[in-house]
């Protein structure tokens, strides 16, 4: 099929190169359209989940956000983590299930945080500082709170400074070095 806007007789001297370039452009354009349509749909699905959450239908919010979270949407990942940490939509049956919910919340926060989601970085830093869902680790708390602070969250900065004031100089040095060497996960799209 001829996708060129002119007939074969009027093609420039190197039609194979032109066809290849146009084919790449068409492919890139199609990919961009898919991304834009998906992004628009993802925002609509996220808004649908938010409306369900605001209406008290936490299970519907979870169902709206989970596919987005699994596809790498940082806002949805943080929202799913919030649901697990808040023990919504279903309260845990016992202490073991509560720990599993907390662990799952930390996992979802980490997915969003490693891609630069500031609220997830803040929340993950809090979890590390308290040992909820993760092993308590003040160095990790310092790093995640520092990243959130670099993203403009003042509360994270203040909390990070309180943690730093309780750390030994060697632990603080380790935390600072980790923070300075941190880079976003290579699979991140944000």
Rounded-to-integer distance, Cα 61 and Cα 56, Å? 9
CA distance 33 to 135: 43
122 touches 155 (CB < 8 A): yes
Instruction: Output the pLDDT for position 124.
Output: 98
User: pLDDT (tens digit, 9 = 90+) per residue, 27-74?
Assistant: 333 333 333 334 455 577 899 999 999 999 999 999 999 999 999 999
Handedness of CA 106, 168, 116, 155 (dihedral sign): positive
Q: What are the φ and ψ backbone dihedral angles of 55, each rounded to 5 degrees?
A: -85, 0
Q: ω into residue 14 within 30 of 0, thus cis?
A: no
150-155: average pLDDT: 95
Residues across the chain: 190
CA distance 168 to 166: 7
User: Which tokens belong to 149?
Assistant: 């602070």
| Digit-coded pLDDT (tens) for 165-185 | 999 999 999 999 999 999 877
Helical segments of the chain, H only: 15-54, 58-70, 74-85, 95-113, 118-130, 138-150, 154-164, 169-181
Note whether 169 and 53 are within 8 A (CB): no
| Buried/exposed code over 4-25 (b: 16+ C-beta within 10 A; e: otherwise) | eeeeeeeeeeeeeeeeeeeeee
Distance, CA of 105 to CA of 101 (rounded, Å): 6
Report, as an integer, the average pLDDT of 115-130.
96
Instruction: Report pLDDT for 40.
Output: 53
Comparing C-alpha atoms, which of 96, 95, 91, 67 is closest to residue 79? 67
């Amino acid at each position: 099929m001829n996708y060129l806007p002119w007939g074969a007789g009027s093609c420039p001297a190197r039609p194979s190169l032109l066809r290849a370039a146009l084919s790449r452009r068409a492919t890139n354009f199609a990919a961009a359209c898919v991304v834009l349509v998906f992004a628009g749909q993802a925002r609509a699905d996220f808004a649908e989940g938010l409306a369900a959450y605001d209406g008290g239908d936490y299970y519907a919010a979870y169902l709206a956000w989970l596919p987005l979270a699994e596809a790498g949407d940082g806002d949805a990942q943080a929202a799913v983590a919030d649901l697990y940490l808040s023990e919504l939509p279903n309260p845990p049956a016992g202490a073991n299930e509560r720990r599993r919910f907390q662990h799952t919340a930390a996992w979802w926060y980490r997915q969003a945080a490693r891609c630069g989601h500031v609220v997830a970085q803040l929340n993950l830093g809090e979890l590390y500082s308290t040992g909820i869902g993760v092993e308590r680790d003040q160095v990790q708390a310092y790093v995640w709170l520092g990243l959130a602070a670099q993203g403009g969250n003042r509360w994270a900065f203040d909390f990070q400074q309180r943690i730093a004031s309780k750390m030994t100089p060697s632990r603080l040095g380790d935390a600072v070095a980790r923070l300075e060497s941190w880079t976003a996960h290579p699979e991140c799209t944000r």
